[in-house]
Amino acid sequence: MDNFLIKFYIKFKHCAVKENKQPSFNNFLFFAETKSQSLKEDIEQTYEDTNTKKMD
């Protein structure tokens, strides 16, 4: 779960910078509500990809 939050926050900061917004807590909550589902899927997919590679 910690890895998920770290990756989520990194993506949040990246998007905030890209949109020229200061990453404030309110922006973070808004971002979490609007993007969390797709990000969660992205991050889970990435996580599965890295786990699969480790097994090889």
pLDDT at 7: 75
Please determine, for residue 34, whether its predicted confidence score (pLDDT) is greater than 70: no
Please determine, for residue 49, whether its predicted confidence score (pLDDT) is greater than 50: yes
Q: How far, CA to CA in Å, does 28 sit from each of 3, 23, 36?
A: 17, 7, 10
Note the pTM of the prediction, 2 decimals: 0.31
C-alpha span between 21 and 9 (Å, rounded): 14
C-alpha span between 10 and 21 (Å, rounded): 14
Please determine, for residue 56, whether its predicted confidence score (pLDDT) is greater than 60: no
Average pLDDT over residues 26-43: 67
